[in-house]
């Protein structure tokens, strides 16, 4: 893979994305190879040029998050990106100017650049050389000039923006025509806080394999089809579906397939569709924990834990257990006492908090209660804002010790 590197951002300032925009524009017009973006060790944006044999219209290669396994190199084509960009503009009722506040190597980040190219507008890049902060986000949002404005965030970022926000931060958030929120499930409390603050949030569901979010607030975008197979797994179809993975043909993975002229992507999520056609994501297909012969939904237990005072977020997984087969375990981000205006029920951070929470949940949840609890200031996250499921499961498994 050949690559070029733009100006580093390590010493202040946002990434220089001119090189990325030029390379993406060339690929979209069939005048250059597919592009893979990353950030180098010096903070500079690396624009890779990838050969894609058998896929002449490939524009971008995007790695999946790797939250549950080895990242896969997903091929996005002119057709899939154009369909996604057009459908997004139709749903949002405009193209406008985008603020890039996500890592550019992931699909939500690269889509900000692609949508801007299709719209003919200039994206503004947030300075994330010091990490994501409300101050840096606010400063970047103040640079936007178009009357129609959009950005994409993950729940962790929005939570930081709404925790004791300054008047300036609230003002710039309210000026966005829409804030797309994806990458991980957003809690009802966060969505309620956003509504109360006057922020126009749209929840999105999708992945690199669907050129990013293709279901907004539960309803598919124009040209996107959604169905649930007999096992409850969500299937997404239409022109936004990727060409596949570089490493393996479709027939080897079983992830992509064609049916009646429609290309489909088989997700790893379970869901249901109501009579109005609204999709509800129920959790991952692999989140069922069988403990002592009882089937437990990790997603359901997580929801219960996150309703507890003193708990900011939770991750639940099954870990090996000689007694139970699998044991329910929880990695919990706790709120310091008074950290959110409430009395922190967990008490001190660390082991004491874990013990207090575990006792509380044994009384409240019975067989659903986690047998091992790891309390920390925050969940472990991947660079794209998704929970690092593998890392947290490994820590929980080590803590439980197989008993």
- Look at residue 11 in the predicted model and tell me its pLDDT: 37
- At residue 257, the 3 state secondary structure works out as strand
- Look at residue 325 in the predicted model and tell me its pLDDT: 87
pLDDT tens digits, one per residue of 217-273: 999 999 999 999 998 899 999 999 999 998 776 556 679 999 999 999 999 898 999
Q: How far apart are CA 37 and CA 48, in angstroms?
A: 6
Q: What is the H or E stretch that residue 25 is in? A: helix 18-28
Confidence of residue 322 (pLDDT cuts 50, 70, 90): confident
Distance of CA 49 to the CA centre of its chain: 25
Helix, strand, coil content of the chain in percent (nearest 5): 30, 30, 40
More confident residue, 101 or 4: 101
Q: Which two tokens stand for residue 286?
A: 């692999």
Angle between helices 107-119 and 18-28 (to 10 degrees): 70
Q: How far apart are CA 152 and CA 377, in angstroms?
A: 25
Ranges 52-66, 83-97, 121-135, 368-382: which has the least confidence: 52-66
- Look at residue 250 in the predicted model and tell me its pLDDT: 59
- Look at residue 399 in the predicted model and tell me its pLDDT: 95
The CA-to-CA distance between both ends of the chain, in Å, stands at: 47
pLDDT tens digits, one per residue of 33-59: 999 998 888 778 899 999 888 888 999
Average pLDDT of every residue of the chain:
88
Q: Which residues pair with 266 in a beta bridge?
A: 235
| 354: Cβ contacts below 8 Å, ≥ 6 apart | 332, 373, 374, 375
3-class SS letters over 330-352 = EEEEECCCCCCCCCCCCCCCCHH
- At residue 150, the 3 state secondary structure works out as strand
CA-wise closest residue to 126 among 117, 137, 134: 137
pLDDT tens digits, one per residue of 268-297: 898 999 999 999 998 888 788 888 877 888
- Look at residue 6 in the predicted model and tell me its pLDDT: 57
Please, is 80 exposed, middle or buried when counting C-beta atoms within 10 Å of its C-beta (0-12, 13-18, 19+)?
buried
Residue 48: CB atoms within 10 A of its CB come to 18
Contact (CB, 8 A) for 48 and 36: yes
Contact (CB, 8 A) for 205 and 217: no
**What φ, ψ does residue 379 adopt, rounded to 5°?**
-70, 155
Ranges 82-91, 133-142, 246-255: which has the least confidence: 246-255
pTM: 0.79
* pLDDT mean over 21-32: 94
Is residue 2 predicted with pLDDT exceeding 80? no
Can you list the domains of the chain with their CATH numbers? 2-280 (3.40.50.12780), 287-400 (3.30.300.30)
Q: How far apart are CA 162 and CA 52, in angstroms?
A: 42
Beta-strand pair 178-181/201-207: parallel
CA-wise closest residue to 174 among 126, 135, 142, 136: 142
**What φ, ψ does residue 388 adopt, rounded to 5°?**
-85, 85
Angle between helices 134-141 and 155-162 (to 10 degrees): 90
pLDDT tens digits, one per residue of 188-209: 889 999 999 999 999 999 999 9
Confidence of residue 1 (pLDDT cuts 50, 70, 90): low
Cα torsion for 244, 247, 252, 253, to the nearest 10°?
-60
Q: Which two tokens stand for residue 260?
A: 């009646």
Q: How far apart are CA 271 and CA 231, in angstroms?
A: 10
- Look at residue 346 in the predicted model and tell me its pLDDT: 38
Is residue 400 predicted with pLDDT exceeding 80? yes
């Amino acid at each position: 893979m050949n690559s070029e590197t733009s100006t580093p951002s390590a010493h202040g300032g946002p990434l220089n994305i001119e090189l990325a925009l030029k390379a993406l524009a060339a690929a979209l017009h069939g005048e250059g190879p597919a592009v893979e973006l990353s950030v180098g060790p010096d903070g500079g944006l690396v624009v890779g040029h990838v050969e894609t044999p058998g896929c002449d219209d490939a524009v971008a290669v995007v790695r999946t998050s790797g939250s549950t396994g080895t990242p896969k190199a997903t091929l996005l084509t002119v057709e899939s990106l154009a369909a996604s960009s057009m459908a997004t503009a139709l749903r949002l009722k405009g193209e406008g100017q985008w603020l890039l506040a996500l890592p550019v190597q992931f699909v939500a980040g690269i889509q900000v650049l692609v949508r801007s190219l299709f719209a003919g507008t200039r994206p503004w890049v947030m300075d994330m050389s010091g990490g994501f902060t409300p101050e840096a986000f606010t400063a970047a949002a103040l640079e936007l000039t178009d009357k129609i404005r959009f950005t994409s965030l993950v729940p962790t970022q929005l939570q930081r923006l709404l925790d004791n926000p300054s008047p300036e931060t609230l003002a710039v958030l309210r000026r966005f025509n829409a804030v797309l929120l994806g990458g991980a499930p957003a809690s009802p409390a966060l969505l309620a806080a956003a509504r109360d603050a006057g922020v126009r949030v749209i929840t999105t569901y999708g992945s690199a394999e669907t050129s990013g979010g293709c279901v907004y607030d539960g309803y598919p975008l124009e040209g996107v089809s959604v169905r649930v197979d007999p096992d409850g797994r969500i299937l997404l179809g239409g022109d936004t579906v990727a060409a596949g993975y570089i490493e393996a043909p479709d027939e080897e993975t079983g992830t992509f397939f064609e049916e009646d002229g429609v290309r489909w992507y088989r997700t790893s999520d379970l869901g249901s569709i109501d009579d109005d056609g609204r999709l509800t994501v129920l959790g991952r297909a692999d989140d069922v924990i069988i403990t002592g012969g009882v089937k437990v939904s990790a997603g359901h237990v997580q929801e219960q834990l996150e309703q507890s005072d003193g708990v900011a977020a939770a991750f639940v997984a099954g870990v090996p257990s000689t007694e139970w087969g699998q044991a329910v375990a929880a990695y919990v981000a706790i709120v310091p006492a008074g950290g959110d205006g409430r009395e922190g029920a967990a008490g001190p951070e660390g082991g004491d908090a874990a013990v207090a929470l575990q006792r509380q949940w044994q009384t409240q949840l019975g067989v659903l209660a986690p047998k091992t609890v790891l309390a920390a200031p925050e969940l472990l996250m991947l660079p794209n804002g998704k929970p690092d499921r593998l890392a947290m499961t490994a820590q929980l498994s080590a803590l439980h010790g197989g008993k």
